[in-house]
Chain A
Amino acid sequence: MLRAILIAIGVFFSGMMLYSFGASTYAYLTDPAAPTAEEEFHLHPKEVHFSFNGSLGHYDRQQLQRGFQVFKEVCSACHSLKFVAFRDLEQLGYSEAEVKAIAKQWTIKAPDVDPKTGEPSTRDPVPADHFPKPFANNVAAAAANNNAIPPDLSLMAKARHDGPAYIHSLLTGFQSQEGFKNAKGKELLKEFPDSKTPEGLHFNPYFANLNLAMAPPLTAEGQVSYGDGTKATVDQMATDVSAFLMWTAEPKLESRKSTGMAVLFFLLIATGLAYLSYRNIWADKKH
């Protein structure tokens, strides 16, 4: 009896699935899903080489400092780094005094309360402060940016597939929609007239929905002047700031990899010994 019920359930579900398969195949053949503008225009991140790729990869401190400089001089006008404190910059090779000075001279001040009146006020950040937010609140942020709120960048490099390469591609990927892939964009625009980038937004094939409220932030060679003599091409600045954002997202990357090497070394030896003792114990037993 139980088996009969179970078999009947099986026949029902399997039958339902076969019927659905037939019906969806029919639907698919008679009315195939048309490709969307997003699919046609969208590009995967470029291949970018970073020093921290691979299982032995490390951060390049010089590069992180350059990336920080790009963040400070360009991105910080709109983006926050709420999980990072000024004192964390010591990990990039800045001295305590330098970090103190960076915090003190930060353009955006830290929110505070006037000790006499209790009115909201601001003060110079100190190393223990996290990077202050550039806008007072989300409404102000959206109002200044075409209705889009610039996201916090602390975790951006882990919050997108292939994060650092994605950020690099995004920053270097602004282009005219018509010129997309040698004027293929023109044809696509004819096919999908609705996909034309709206006024005030910027076409970028690396961005998921193609139209970004952020204007191209890195536009000209030499936009920042690097202290270490590296030529500040747009590509170089984009790579450096992407590396810096990988560090803000995964500051423990280097100790993770080096701990991993030590742990693996230990485990390989321990497992080898465990294997030998296993063989030894079973030596007299056929199995």
Chain B
Amino acid sequence: MSFPWAAHYTPKAPLMKWIDERLPLPRLVYNSIGAGYPVPRNLNYMWNFGVLSGLALVIQIVSGIIMAMHYAANDLVAFGTVEHVMRDVNSGWLIRYAHANGASFFFIVVYLHIFRGLFYGSYKAPREMVWLLGLVIYLLMMATAFMGYVLPWGQMSYWGAKVITGLFGAIPVVGEPIQTWLLGGFAPGNAALNRFFSLHYLLPFVIAGVIILHIWALHIPGSNNPTGVDVKGPQDTVPFHPYYTAKDGFGAGVFLILFSILLFFAPNFLGHPDNYIEANPLSTPAHIVPEWYFWPFYAILRAFTFDFFFVPAKLLGVLAMFAAILLLFFLPWLDNSPVRSGKFRPVFKQFFIVLCIDVLILGWCGGAPATAGYVMISQIAAAYYFAHFLIILPLIAMFEKPLPLPNSITEAVLAKHNLQGEEPAAVPAE
């Protein structure tokens, strides 16, 4: 596909040949995730997370479809049908815990996948479209997860839905009609529950479709790599199969081990106890918090406590929260340093580390009660978050002096193994 030396598909089994001549699906698979896709030979384990995200999506779809067979999206019985899955359905507890914890693992691997892209500059030319489609996936994932959390109709489901749809209420004039329209009523109820279920069932398949586009777009330039240097020739690549299928197989094993530890031994660790209380519109929980993967954005939302002239704080918070996500779409044009990999960008690297810590701090504050101390920490952290992407990255790109780049991937690999005689100075130490 992408490189002239990519292996060509020559079906061996007569059946495959027969199919391939009529519908070149085997060829498509071969060229996408088979021996026909040449991949840089130097990818590190951070490149496992794309395939792991795909695995997480499969786990969600399979467990979700089985749960939907026993679940009823009706506000009078929804909570009970989830308990029915947990108690009466054969291995229902396994299906349900797998789906609930699977969502968390999905976000863990996607966050690592995104931060991989942020560090190695995978969002830069010529992979902007891969990055943009990735962000579309991320937005769809957040919508899916939010609606999924409403389905068990526990206290956090109900109040989470109320708070999040209430964000639209912050928009002047049209806000409240929009909120009512989204919910199909003045508060979450049976109408909201039904439409959330319908969309929650739909969106994962939309995600699957966008993933196909994401990988299609990736296969035009081919994968980036830890040096960020372009592939120069066949010596720089290995065929995806068997090299990376084997590595991804090992990665999948590690993923499943960690997933099983949580799923079987601490299945409620990431959940909130209040969601084991059935939704009650008359009793507001002491602390309404979303699931952990929304905490950084929730912290930004709550950090806005002061009005700006005629713009109320709540509206500012909502705008900032959406801006915090949407700004990532502009990243390829904000950071226009020609060097991709953070390994060769000494200044960028420092700020990248600060960003990672900053996002963790935001997450920690977002999960904590909104007391003065946490709000103040969120304010500093949110200031850095916006400054990092919108001010610091463009500035670094202007002033930073990058380290010398290796001439090729192969050169970098050989230097690492001390196999190269001449010009060791051209390859910076790691």
Residues of A that sit less than 8 Å from B by CB = 2-3, 6-7, 9-11, 13-21, 23-25, 27-28, 32-33, 55, 83, 151, 154-155, 158-161, 163, 208, 249, 251-252, 256-257, 259-261, 263-264, 267-268, 270-271, 274-275, 277-278, 281-282, 285-287
Q: Which residues from chain B contact A163 at a C-beta distance below 8 Å?
A: 273
B86 within 8 A of A: yes
Smallest CB-CB separation from A269: which chain B residue? B253
What are 6 A-B contacts defined by CB distance under 8 Å?
A14-B384, A161-B273, A274-B246, A274-B249, A287-B41, A287-B413
Please tell me if the beta carbons of A10 and B413 are within 8 angstroms of each other in the complex: no
Q: A6-B390, A11-B390, A285-B41 are in contact. List 7 more A-B contacts (CB 8 A).
A: A10-B391, A13-B390, A17-B383, A249-B276, A267-B257, A271-B254, A282-B247
A24-B273 in contact given A252-B93, A260-B263 (Cβ < 8 Å): no
B394 within 8 A of A: yes
Q: Which residues from chain B contact A252 at a C-beta distance below 8 Å?
A: 86-87, 93
Q: Which residues from chain B contact A16 at a C-beta distance below 8 Å?
A: 304, 306, 308, 316, 320
Q: Which residues from chain A contact B327 at a C-beta distance below 8 Å?
A: 6, 9
B414 within 8 A of A: yes
B13 within 8 A of A: no
Bound-state Cα–Cα, A286 to B391, Å: 40
Please tell me if the beta carbons of A20 and B238 are within 8 angstroms of each other in the complex: no
Please tell me if the beta carbons of A287 and B390 are within 8 angstroms of each other in the complex: no
Please tell me if the beta carbons of B87 and A17 are within 8 angstroms of each other in the complex: no
Q: Which residues from chain A contact B253 at a C-beta distance below 8 Å?
A: 267, 270-271, 274-275
Complex interface bits, B78-102 against A, C-beta within 8 A gives 1, otherwise 0: 0010010011000001100100000
With a 10 A CB-CB cut-off, give which of A16, A256, A264, A268 has the most chain B CB atoms. Answer: A16
Q: Which of B106-114, B160-168, B290-298, B373-381 contacts A (4 or more CB under 8 A)?
A: B373-381
B174 within 8 A of A: no
Interface residues of B in 371-400 (CB under 8 A from A): 371-373, 375-376, 379-380, 382-384, 386-387, 389-391, 394
B205 within 8 A of A: no
Bound-state Cα–Cα, A13 to B263, Å: 39
Q: Which of A23, A25, A286 contacts B419 (CB 8 A)?
A: A286
Please tell me if the beta carbons of A20 and B303 are within 8 angstroms of each other in the complex: yes
Interface residues of B in 323-346 (CB under 8 A from A): 323, 327, 330, 333-334
Smallest CB-CB separation from A31: which chain B residue? B372
B351 within 8 A of A: no
Please tell me if the beta carbons of B390 and A10 are within 8 angstroms of each other in the complex: yes
A267-B260 in contact given A3-B334, A14-B391, A20-B305 (Cβ < 8 Å): yes
Please tell me if the beta carbons of B277 and A159 are within 8 angstroms of each other in the complex: yes
Q: Which residues from chain A contact B263 at a C-beta distance below 8 Å?
A: 260
A89 to chain B, nearest CB (A): 14
Smallest CB-CB separation from A263: which chain B residue? B260
Bound-state Cα–Cα, A249 to B271, Å: 15
3 tightest Cβ-Cβ pairs between the two chains A and B: A10-B390, A260-B264, A271-B253
Please tell me if the beta carbons of B246 and A281 are within 8 angstroms of each other in the complex: yes
A281-B242 in contact given A19-B306, A20-B304, A163-B273 (Cβ < 8 Å): yes
Question: Chain B, interface size: which category?
Answer: 35 or more
Bound-state Cα–Cα, A8 to B377, Å: 23
Bound-state Cα–Cα, A208 to B274, Å: 13
A28-B380 in contact given A278-B250, A282-B246 (Cβ < 8 Å): no
B314 to chain A, nearest CB (A): 13
B2 within 8 A of A: no
Please tell me if the beta carbons of B386 and A13 are within 8 angstroms of each other in the complex: yes
B76 to chain A, nearest CB (A): 13
A264-B379 in contact given A10-B386, A252-B86 (Cβ < 8 Å): no
Q: Which residues from chain B contact A261 at a C-beta distance below 8 Å?
A: 264
A22 to chain B, nearest CB (A): 9
B261 within 8 A of A: yes
Smallest CB-CB separation from B305: which chain A residue? A20
Please tell me if the beta carbons of A274 and B371 are within 8 angstroms of each other in the complex: no
Bound-state Cα–Cα, A3 to B395, Å: 11
Please tell me if the beta carbons of A10 and B276 are within 8 angstroms of each other in the complex: no
B217 within 8 A of A: no
Q: Which residues from chain A contact B250 at a C-beta distance below 8 Å?
A: 271, 274-275, 277-278
Q: Which residues from chain B contact A158 at a C-beta distance below 8 Å?
A: 268, 273, 276
Interface residues of B in 257-275 (CB under 8 A from A): 257, 260-261, 263-265, 267-268, 273-274
Q: Which residues from chain A contact B306 at a C-beta distance below 8 Å?
A: 16, 19-20, 23
A257 to chain B, nearest CB (A): 6
A278-B260 in contact given A10-B387, A13-B386 (Cβ < 8 Å): no
Bound-state Cα–Cα, A160 to B94, Å: 22
Please tell me if the beta carbons of B380 and A7 are within 8 angstroms of each other in the complex: no
Q: Which residues from chain B contact A11 at a C-beta distance below 8 Å?
A: 390-391
Smallest CB-CB separation from A88: which chain B residue? B87
Bound-state Cα–Cα, A240 to B327, Å: 55
Smallest CB-CB separation from A17: which chain B residue? B383
Please tell me if the beta carbons of B261 and A277 are within 8 angstroms of each other in the complex: no
B215 to chain A, nearest CB (A): 22
A257-B379 in contact given A6-B327, A286-B417, A287-B42 (Cβ < 8 Å): no
Smallest CB-CB separation from B384: which chain A residue? A14
With a 10 A CB-CB cut-off, give which of A11, A14, A282 has the most chain B CB atoms. Answer: A14
Bound-state Cα–Cα, A245 to B429, Å: 60
Q: Which residues from chain A contact B382 at a C-beta distance below 8 Å?
A: 13, 17
A24-B330 in contact given A17-B380, A264-B257, A278-B246 (Cβ < 8 Å): no
A13-B379 in contact given A208-B286, A278-B247 (Cβ < 8 Å): no
Q: Which of A9, A257, A267, A268 contacts B390 (CB 8 A)?
A: A9
B243 within 8 A of A: yes
Please tell me if the beta carbons of B323 and A9 are within 8 angstroms of each other in the complex: yes
Q: Which residues from chain B contact A257 at a C-beta distance below 8 Å?
A: 264-265
Bound-state Cα–Cα, A282 to B238, Å: 10
Q: Which residues from chain A contact B267 at a C-beta distance below 8 Å?
A: 256
